[in-house]
Structure 1
Amino acid sequence: MGFGALSSDDATPFRISFVCTGNICRSPMAEVVLREQVAHAGLGRFISTSSAGTGDWHVGEQADARTIEALARRGYDGSNHRARQFDPLSFDELDLVVVFDRSQERILKAWAHRNRDRDKVRLILSFDPEQAHLREVPDPYYSDDAMFDTVLGMIERSSQALFRQIAPAIRQGVR
């Protein structure tokens, strides 16, 4: 997926939402990781990140403690996260909706009422040629700390690949 020159004036940043199942493990990780990459590159005004879940089980809760701990071990702060459920009306406000497994991909594409909105839904590993063959990031929720670290590593690599694809188009649009 090429992004071409992206409009990135102050009024309309490129908006990305990461969506997993409960919005307490994978999607908060990706939101925090990409936000940090964007800030480090000085593009915080031009790229907006958020996250949500397909389900409503954890709405209002912090990220899973193991998520916060895994992020902290790598120097990220996930303590301010509060879970929310994805609102299908958000498609109009988003440029890209990134999911972690095929189940989420099916749900989000079913919630999208237009082809252009379905086209916004992408699996996170699809951005990283070295991990694309895996297709899905496993849900660490029923696993141990080591799996949270593994999942975070997968998300970091994929987020870096996504950022490498978006950043040049954003920079071109800024000029």
Structure 2
Amino acid sequence: MSHPYSVLFVCMGNICRSPTAAGVFRHKVQALGLQDHVTVDSAGTHNYHPNSPPDARSQEHAARRGYDLSPLRARQIRDADFEAFDLILAMDWDNLALLQDICPPEHQKKLRRLTEFCLTSDSPVVPDPYYDGAPAFEHVLDLVEDACEGLVRHVRKTRPVGT
């Protein structure tokens, strides 16, 4: 059996957007019975919150939609991640640029923005909700859910298992 398809979600501090995306995508993968075929993780471009749980507001809003982010812990992206993951998805242009700066040339093709997978939204980025209120966290979830639906389709085309 080939190795599981691996997806890494990346934002700046790894406490709001990327753990939300990881939690939503993991939930969708498990609901489809694909957890043995797809691995999911998240990281930050900066090491602001090492080993911290996701922001309480992110956890609260995600929980209202049935996503449990509590087991996740923040970490900074590592050099080995570029080799280990099949797809590395940045939440915005700034984090994509930071990833492009540190990613070895042979792995640049793995770097994309999460919103490229949105099925209904045309937002180019998942905006950082950290300094905003509840509507911003809900907007992040709306975008992430939309993108993760498209991402599931992409993964199933890339690795047709469990279909």
Instruction: Measure the CA separation in 2 of the matches of 1:145 and 1:159.
Output: 21
Q: Deviations over 1:15-74 (max 9, x none)?
A: 110000000000000101111111111110100000000000101111000000011010
Cα distance, 1:79 vs. partner?
A: 0.9
In structure 1, distance between residues paired with 2:49 and 2:32: 32
The alignment status of 1:155 with 2:152, answered yes or no, reads no
The counterpart of 1:98, out of the listed 89, 92, 113, is 89
Structure 2 match to 1:107: 98
1:49 alignment partner, SS class = strand
Percent identity between the two aligned chains: 35
Unaligned runs of 5+ in 2: none
Q: Would you say how many aligned residue pairs link Structure 1 and Structure 2?
A: 163
* RMSD value, Cα: 1.5
Deviations 1:125-173 (A, max 9, x none): 1112532x4211110000011210111111000011111121233225x
Q: TM-score, normalising length from structure 1? A: 0.88
1:14-33 pair list within 5 angstroms: 14-33=5-24
Q: TM-score, normalised by structure 2?
A: 0.94
Specify the alignment match of 1:120 in structure 2. 110
- CA distance in 1: counterparts of 2:44 and 2:158, whole angstroms: 28
Q: Deviations over 1:62-99 (max 9, x none)?
A: 10000000110101111111100001221111100001
Unaligned runs of 5+ in 1: 1-8
- d(CA) in 1 for partners of 2:109 and 2:100? 8
Distance 1:169 1:54 in 2: 26
